[in-house]
Chains A and B, each alone.
Chain A
Amino acid sequence: MTTITVTVNGVRYTSEVEPRLLLVHYLREHLNLTGTHIGCDTSQCGACVVHINGVSVKSCTTLAVQCDGAEITTIEGLAHDGQLHPLQEGFWEKHGLQCGFCTPGMIMAAADLLKRNPNPTDEEIRHGLEGNLCRCTGYENIVRAVRYAAEKMAAAPAAD
């Protein structure tokens, strides 16, 4: 067992973990943060995307021990004071989901995309979400949701 200290959504945790424990299992089973989903488990579908030190990664392909000392943000950490993040609002307003399974990963990947490119074209949004698969929507409304968030964030730059 190895001891790790991580900050997840602003809360500091110190845990004893097996080196082989994947970050996604640590988040879901040790911290009960089940918003991060496991889809393909082969690094392709993006349902498990979280941010490590502000950068989007697939948590099914990262070991929890690798995150010792890191700041992690999951979908649970996006809303502040009961106020949805513009991306969460965008997915709501533009019907960016049907079953919702891919949504947490989509939103976390889109958040990273908007940080690098606050005003992406539709093509850049599609390219930026290449690592996230959705079996329901056909992606059209996901692109609209991200565009909605980009416009909203440009109009009123958020603290984060």
Chain B
Amino acid sequence: MIPAPFDYYAPTSLAEALTLLQQHGDDAKILAGGHSLLPAMKLRLASPSVLIDINRVAELRGIKVNGTVEIGAMTTWSAIEQHAALAKACPAMADAVSLIGDIQVRNRGTIGGSLAHADPAADIPAVVLAVDAQIHVEGPNGPRAIAAADFFTDMLSTALEPGEIITSITFNSHGPGESSAYAKFPHPASRYAIVGAAAYVKMENGQVTACRVAITGAGPKAERQPAVEQALIGTDGSADAVAAAAAHAGEGMEMLGDIHASEEYRRAMCKVYAKRALLKAIERAR
């Protein structure tokens, strides 16, 4: 399978990449890790006439961890996976990234590329929602930050405006009593999430005082689970309390159904994987 012809640019700075994107407008696509875009181009599902490869933009790579975690948009899954301080600052991120695709996919795929693509079965959308991340972008009107909660607008659709490029992702490192986890039911061949759940909890004096849960894979876009969160806050985080709260997972969500998993099955798995992620997060937070 061979993609349709295109013109190729490999800028070495963000400013250059933004200018190229501005020049070529809708005809252009940004090439990050290429592990969603190139397969789509090979299948001729996408035929951009211009490809702007940002792999040589060094300023978009890198991980900083102190009170805040900052991950450059072009940081590969492998770099995230191998970052010990990041795994400590946000275990859900480490859980999720280690389950993405396979080593070769993780060697090329990037966090910014995945977020911009917004595949409904990608893992990372659930994690950025659960840790309440900010997605930083730059475009013709300068830089801005988009809250993860506002970022995913529909299947394969985001709040990114034409001409904008994601530059980094930031969120708070977990503090005392805080932790997180990600659990997923992977498709056996592609490893995409049939259902994936990310959970963040804060435990104080044996009580859950804060909680965010998000589900990916089940519906057209990753979504927070307010009913689960509200049911868990104020409880002792026991297995019974978690099971009762997780029973609300998927409530009000549109479900996808396909040959791999029906809508009904995905709805059932939302509860199972929300429970698993919460139990793991609470165990880590204690």
In A50-74, which residues have CB < 8 Å from any B CB? 55-58, 61-63, 65-66, 68
Residues B104 and A18 in contact, CB atoms below 8 Å apart: no
Is B42 interfacial (CB-CB < 8 Å)? yes
* Contact code string B106-129 (vs A, CB < 8 Å = 1, else 0): 011000000000000000000000
* Contact code string B15-50 (vs A, CB < 8 Å = 1, else 0): 000000000000000010011001101100000000
Binds A, one of B3-11, B62-70, B264-272: B3-11
In the bound assembly, the distance between CA atoms of A61 and B55 in angstroms comes to 14
In the bound assembly, the distance between CA atoms of A58 and B38 in angstroms comes to 12
Q: A2-B8, A42-B39, A63-B38 are in contact. Are A19 and B51 (CB under 8 A)?
A: yes
A110 to chain B, nearest CB (A): 10
Q: A20-B3, A41-B42, A44-B189 are in contact. Are A63 and B8 (CB under 8 A)?
A: yes
Residues A20 and B102 in contact, CB atoms below 8 Å apart: no
In the bound assembly, the distance between CA atoms of A112 and B38 in angstroms comes to 23
Is A27 interfacial (CB-CB < 8 Å)? no
In the bound assembly, the distance between CA atoms of A2 and B53 in angstroms comes to 14
* Contact code string B121-155 (vs A, CB < 8 Å = 1, else 0): 00000000000000000000000000000000000
In the bound assembly, the distance between CA atoms of A144 and B6 in angstroms comes to 44
Residues B1 and A57 in contact, CB atoms below 8 Å apart: no
In-complex Cβ contact of B8 among A55, A65, A131 (8 A): A65
A46 — which chain B residues lie within 8 A by C-beta? 102, 104
Q: Could you say which interface size class chain B belongs to? A: 20 to 34
Main DSSP-derived SS at the A contact region? mixed
In-complex Cβ contact of B103 among A20, A44, A131 (8 A): A131
In the bound assembly, the distance between CA atoms of A149 and B53 in angstroms comes to 37
Is B2 interfacial (CB-CB < 8 Å)? yes
Residues A65 and B6 in contact, CB atoms below 8 Å apart: no
* Contact code string A35-55 (vs B, CB < 8 Å = 1, else 0): 000000111101001000001
Residues A49 and B8 in contact, CB atoms below 8 Å apart: no
Q: Which residue of B lies closest to A113 (CB)?
A: B103
Residues B51 and A41 in contact, CB atoms below 8 Å apart: no
B252 to chain A, nearest CB (A): 34
B10 to chain A, nearest CB (A): 7
A22 — which chain B residues lie within 8 A by C-beta? 2, 42
List residues of B whose CB falls within 8 A of some A CB.
1-8, 10, 31, 34-35, 38-39, 41-42, 51, 53, 55, 78, 101-105, 107-108, 189-191
17 contacts between A and B (CB under 8 A): A19-B7, A19-B51, A20-B6, A22-B2, A42-B42, A43-B38, A43-B39, A55-B107, A56-B103, A61-B34, A61-B108, A62-B38, A63-B38, A65-B53, A66-B31, A109-B103, A131-B102
